[in-house]
Copies of this chain bind each other. A is one copy, B any other.
């Protein structure tokens, strides 16, 4: 059993060193054993767990949701209904966010296209910001 340092764990999982310590501090990752000199010594399982967390974070899951997903992973005999519900909720969020960003994109495009590159008093960017009534889409 070779010891995995925090740096090594970070490299292999793609989670930064301070973030690994942070995850430990909030109880997302069990505190690993320590070397003689008080340095953390991780197991391969910890690296998988970190990679799991990282992937879930990249998908935009909140720490609390990840906490739930991890307890599910820890006990594979449970029903996966909660995992399913969490993922579905996230999907709805993402779809909502995409729709809102599309509307936003449209508005930004109007602003940018309308800019005559002259002085501010003819600039559509400033004008549209100042007067919401000029928006095409009632997205907000």
Interface residues of A (CB under 8 A from B): 48, 51-52, 55-56, 58-60, 69, 72-73, 75-81, 83-84, 86-88, 90-91, 94-95, 97-98, 101-102, 104-105, 107-109, 111-112, 115, 117-123, 125-126, 129-130, 132, 140
A135 CB, nearest partner CB in chain B, Å: 8
- How would you classify the secondary structure of chain A's contact residues: helix, strand, loop or mixed? helix
Q: How far is the CA of A140 from the CA of B27 in the complex (A)?
A: 25
- Contact between chains at B77 and A90 (CB < 8 Å): no
In this complex, which of A55, A78, A90 has the most chain B Cβ atoms within 10 angstroms of its Cβ?
A55
A138 CB, nearest partner CB in chain B, Å: 12
Beyond the given pairs A87-B111, A87-B115, A91-B108, 11 more chain A to chain B contacts, judged by CB atoms under 8 angstroms and listed by A's residue number, are: A48-B130, A52-B130, A59-B107, A59-B129, A69-B129, A79-B118, A79-B120, A80-B125, A84-B117, A91-B105, A94-B104
